[in-house]
Amino acid sequence: MSALPHVFDATEANFEAEVIQASLKTPVLVDFWATWCGPCKQLAPILEKIVASYNGTLKLAKVDTDKEQQLAAVFGIRSLPTVVLVKDGQMVDGFMGALPEGQVREFLSRHIPAADAQPEATPEPAAAEKPEDAIARLRREIATAPDKPALKLDLALALMQSGDADAAQTELDALPDSLAQDTKAKRLRNQLDFARVLKDAPDMAALRARLATDANDHAARDLLGVRLLLDGNASAGLDEFLQILRTARAWNDGAAKKRLIAAFSVLDDEDLVGTYRRKMASLLF
């Protein structure tokens, strides 16, 4: 526990009271860190200095991700340090990496009265490549550079996007150990897990019929959520998982929370993911 005023250690046990509820009155900056993380050690004194300068109008909650893995999973922490601002009970913004003091103050000024800050420019989205075109391109590149395993991982992702789950699994299994924990590999693994869930599962109409008969048929709702997610209706699928979390959090060993966390890792829509992370957090905390 920090001895500094307005700085405290956040855990799963106190997060709802000390962060979510407390942010209704005072914004809370949440610092996700680890003892082995060098950039975390660089950022920590900067955050503490800045929070001290707010004289009680801003708090700093420190989350040790090695000890609080569930909290890190709920917020989708993929790199350290990651800093999230919670205000009025909601996660409103965040950043990754050890930013210098000036940039951290600029970040905060967008949400808390402080020095003026210029808004960041929004990058233009890149044109999406069709999976079929990506497969053909990657196979050509692999033929000329077979010693680049990252290309094979990209091929596996493209195969999954085209609907060829078996071929994607084959490519994934052939990857070297150095890529096994890559973020892309984890995303593909979750996509394949979702695809396997639907093997021999009832179709969407049958699942809806089961729910019309029994709204507490959580197994049917879970499968419906997966079908909607893989059919491209991500928000509807996430809503089904949230409904299970809302009404039967402990069902099937907390399957709804696990589904949501896995779904967040396979979706590219950051705004959608952010919205549903906040909805999930409001139910959990």
Domain extents for the chain? 7-109, 131-193, 204-284
Provide the b/e sequence for 73-97 (b: ≥16 CB within 10 Å): bbbebeebbbbbbbbebbbbebeee
Give the pLDDT band of residue 126 (cuts 50, 70, 90): low
Q: Are 229 and 207 in contact (CB under 8 A)?
A: no
- DSSP conformation class of 80: S
Give the pLDDT band of residue 99 (cuts 50, 70, 90): very high
* Cα–Cα distance measured from residue 100 to residue 102, given in angstroms and rounded to the nearest whole number: 6
Give residue 121's Cα distance to chain centre. 23
Q: Does pLDDT of 245 surpass 70? A: yes
pLDDT attached to residue 9: 94
Q: Are 132 and 162 in contact (CB under 8 A)?
A: yes
Q: Does pLDDT of 236 surpass 50? A: yes
Q: Does pLDDT of 265 surpass 90? A: no
CATH architecture group of domain 204-284: Alpha Horseshoe (1.25)
Q: Which residues are catalytic?
A: 37, 40
Mean pLDDT of 147-159: 84
Mean pLDDT of 206-229: 94
Give the pLDDT band of residue 270 (cuts 50, 70, 90): confident
CB-CB neighbours of 34 under 10 Å: 16
Q: Does pLDDT of 36 surpass 90? A: yes
Provide the b/e sequence for 115-128 (b: ≥16 CB within 10 Å): eeeeeeeeeeeeee
Give the pLDDT band of residue 230 (cuts 50, 70, 90): confident
Radius of gyration of the chain (CA): 21
Fill in the amino acid letter for 51.
Answer: V
Mean pLDDT of 161-187: 80
Residues in CB range of 40: below 8 A, 6 or more apart: 31, 33, 34, 80, 81, 98
Q: Is 167 left (phi over 0), alpha (psi -120 to 50) or beta?
A: alpha
pLDDT attached to residue 19: 92
Q: Which of 9, 108, 20 is nearest to 67 (CA)?
A: 9
Q: Does pLDDT of 90 surpass 80? A: yes
pLDDT attached to residue 3: 62
Q: Does pLDDT of 181 surpass 70? A: no
Q: Using the structure block, give the residue that is written with the tokens 């394949």.
A: 192
Give the pLDDT band of residue 186 (cuts 50, 70, 90): confident
* Cα–Cα distance measured from residue 139 to residue 24, given in angstroms and rounded to the nearest whole number: 53
Give the pLDDT band of residue 185 (cuts 50, 70, 90): confident
Q: pLDDT tens, 48-69?
A: 999 999 988 999 999 999 999 9
Mean pLDDT of 159-163: 80
Looking at CATH, the fold of the domain delimited by 7-109 is given as Glutaredoxin (3.40.30)
Q: Are 254 and 245 in contact (CB under 8 A)?
A: no
Give the pLDDT band of residue 116 (cuts 50, 70, 90): very low
Q: Which two tokens stand for residue 119?
A: 């808004």
**What SS3 state is found at 128?**
coil
pLDDT attached to residue 281: 87
Strands 59-64 and 7-9: parallel
Mean pLDDT of 153-178: 83
Tell me the average pLDDT of the chain.
86
pLDDT attached to residue 59: 94
More confident residue, 240 or 193: 240
pLDDT attached to residue 2: 55
* Cα–Cα distance measured from residue 107 to residue 114, given in angstroms and rounded to the nearest whole number: 10
